[in-house]
Amino acid sequence: MKTIKGPGVFLAQFIGEEAPFNSLDGICKWAADLGFKGIQMPTLDTRFIDLRLAAESKTYADELKGKIASYGLDITELSTHLQGQLVAVHPAYNELFDSFAVPEVKNNPKARTEWAIQQLKYAAQASQNLGLKAHATFSGSLLWQYFHPWPQRPEGLVDEAFTELAKRWTPILDAFEECGVDVCYEIHPGEDLFDGITYEMFLEKVNQHPRACLLYDPSHFVLQQLDYIQYIDFYHQRIKAFHVKDAEFNPTGRQGTFGGYQSWADRAGRYRSPGDGQVDFKTIFSKLAQYDYDGWAVMEWECCIKNQEDGAREGSEFIRKNIIHVTDKAFDDFAGAENDANFNRKILGL
């Protein structure tokens, strides 16, 4: 068994225009002061990382890593959630998802997809230069708007979409293979990879690619009413990243999993700060330790009630308390006997 690393924090929900959240030095000091040991870094804001430069310059990568280390922090993973989303976009979402792209590829879906794929390839090289073994991202989606089959889905629609998704991702996965880095898909509503079965469908299409791995986030499974504990039993060999994000599901006679188009605070299923929801993190941390997960536990703050700074402060301590420092011996070793084959045969009456 292995002890999980942490606590880490995903910076995406904290980066902003006000100090200390508007610079790498500021946000590193803030994270370190709260007791975090690692930061998961989004890659679209050059105030924090120049992704292309990190891919092309080992010197820049080493300097970036050194600056972060000067605050007692490690980079847990780079994140291309937004770029990964743009690898596959259905036309219904073109205008909304254009906001994730750089200006020169907006209003041009083909160029936007090519840009996103190149961004992922830069992320593979940057991760290698930074000495990272895992990378966090989204799969994108061609099918999400068809998840509820009404009207009935045309025969072959789902298979065609997953074939195309695999066609776009296979060269990316190959690039990560060359760099020795796992692609960790966050299984998430709005993505074509949103539960275990869709992940298995994708794996089949990419020929069980060894780099097509998972970012485990139980909060999304609470909202889907999926057994997030058994999920670990099914997929533990592919889980290479972990978001500590809480959630709760409180259905009523008026709404359930679909949420009635309500705001997050008024939905039956909603995200909460770690420890404030219904996720059984004690069992999760135990399962992951039992299965030799040796990556990071990274807090992702998404809460519709508590403010982000309280969530971060409490989240750091929450992760620290839940990390299990695994034992190197059995509790009953004191009563053990010598390894003696003859003795064993004797007490068996042989």
Q: Domains for the chain: give ranges and CATH numbers.
A: 5-347 (3.20.20.150)
Question: Alpha helices of 152-192 — where are they, by DSSP H?
Answer: 157-179
* End-to-end CA, the chain: 35
Candidates 119, 122, 74, 123; CA nearest to 101 is 119
Q: Can you say how many angstroms the Cα of residue 4 is from the centroid of all Cα atoms in its chain?
A: 15
- Kind plus residue range of the DSSP H or E element containing 68: helix 58-69
Give the pLDDT confidence score for residue 327 in this predicted structure. Answer: 82
Instruction: Dump pLDDT digits (tens) for 27-58.
Output: 999 999 999 999 999 999 999 999 999 999 99
Summarize the confidence of residues 327-334 as an average pLDDT: 70
Q: Which pLDDT band, with edges at 50, 70 and 90, does 335 fall under?
A: low
**pLDDT more than 70, % of the chain:** 98
For the whole model, what pTM was predicted?
0.95
Tokens of 305: 């009630």
Q: Is the dihedral of CA 186, 187, 191, 193 positive or negative?
A: positive
Instruction: Dump pLDDT digits (tens) for 198-224.
Output: 999 999 999 999 999 999 999 999 999
Average the pLDDT over each of 104-108, 119-123, 137-141, 331-335 and give the range with the smallest value.
Answer: 331-335
